[in-house]
Chains A and B, each alone.
Chain A
């Protein structure tokens, strides 16, 4: 797996949300993406995932240009993402939720085969007993697990997780943690956005810090923690709040 982002720019009207962002990921790296509010983290994820069309720059996944692909095509190339507020299909069952991406990306495998695979995935997420429940009857944390299950069905090489731990019950947090570590061992790469500093520092081998649409730090967590620019970015925000 090789992700290359070069000088990525995204504007909304007069606001420059991403200002020439460049980064590189390979193999099964686990990268944490942090930054103050409004720094452009979600915009970066949304642009890479195909929701926004870049105004400048390139995005290459495994050597192929994915910058102008639609979200469903990006998933097809092996890049999956979750949403900050979980967006499972509320009035569809958990099983149906998992079947959607499976049948969308690889319909030829057939319903039967995908259904047994879905049950394996749900088992792994300890949710098999909920498979026929409507997603809307699940807790927020469980809906996040459903999203992860959906991703797993398409076996992506790179997963973009937007606040996977936000508002999650501690017990479920463990499940999500296990999910990430297990998949990492299987060779998958992660970009994780989180405000939860403890989890991020534990999970990430590498931290990307975004501030006002630009990457101001890129390195191992220890180094980033003591980086002047990073401290300024966060302190600066706090000073404004005061």
Chain B
């Protein structure tokens, strides 16, 4: 522990590195079934961490994140169905499509405060779901849209596992890099006090839209990866309780820490599988945990653990005071 204390590392990254080692060697350690679980876990981790960036860093508590994920997946799937677009190209196009819609939604939401933003994005998500269900000639609706698997006839789950892991790491790196630049500073200022941020020179419009575009692209990317992995899409991937699950993951992990949110997602997904015998009660447990965490541990359950285990930097003391207050 003392060695770690001397390293000038940001606390979360050290633990992240350890997790990375475990993650890379997982196919050697577990069966195919658990590889699937972790792959889905990484999928949720991409969603949870990008939502954490949008909400926890930039302060935009959108309830429409799953819609962007669905846009990514369905764009690729539909284009594949009608034009034979290959999966790789589909991933690119799906991601861009989600980003484009994210740009529009972000621009529309500029004036909205917390409650109105939540309402508008929930409405957007439901309208989209209705469209997907209502136009089966395009999307196959509830029957399910068959999507070409990314690795064709390969039966093994290993390549999919590493692909999802790779993109999770790339997204985390990208988002983390962004938050370390002045953009991250501006986004946090916007969350703290939007009007004061503007008075202090921050182009609030530009950065709010940027947050939406980037996070919706990442969600869209997750959607395409999911689609080309499980090879079938239904509108059920974007029902409101799914959004609730992602929020639970991000909040329980720690909504202000991208890595904590990602880890929270993986942990919860794995727990959900491990607790299979509890069936419907599993989600009840996490639902209760979500509400309790919100009330008593705003910073999440995982994030403070990192900060306490690996004290680094002069800020730690005052930061701990803030954490202890349950800010």
Contacts and interface: CB of A to CB of B under 8 A. Distances in A.
Direct interface between A and B, CB < 8 A? yes
A93 interface: yes
Contacts of B327: 91, 136
B185 A99 contact: yes
Interface residues of A, number: 33
B186 interface: yes
Interface stretch (A67-75, A168-176, A200-208, A228-236): A67-75
B195 A154 contact: no
Contacts of B182: 99, 103-104, 107, 111
A81 B327 CA distance: 28
A17 to B, nearest CB: 18
Contacts of A111: 182
A132 B201 contact: no
A89 interface: yes
Interface string A98-125: 0111011101000100000000000000
Given A72-B200, A104-B203, 12 more contacts: A51-B198, A72-B199, A87-B193, A87-B199, A89-B197, A91-B192, A100-B202, A103-B182, A104-B201, A104-B202, A111-B182, A132-B315
Nearest to B203: A72
Contacts of B314: 132
B201 A154 contact: yes
Contacts of A70: 198, 203-205
Interface residues of B, number: 25
Interface string B52-63: 000000000000
Interface of B: 182, 185-186, 188-189, 192-193, 195-205, 314-315, 318-319, 321-322, 327
Nearest to A154: B201
A35 to B, nearest CB: 22
B107 to A, nearest CB: 15
Contacts of B192: 89-92
Interface of A: 49-51, 70-72, 75-76, 81, 83, 87-93, 96, 99-101, 103-105, 107, 111, 132-134, 136-137, 150, 154
Contact of A75 (B189, B193, B200, B318): B200
A152 B205 CA distance: 24
A100 B315 contact: no
Most buried by B among A71, A111, A154: A71
A89 B315 contact: no
Contacts of B319: 134
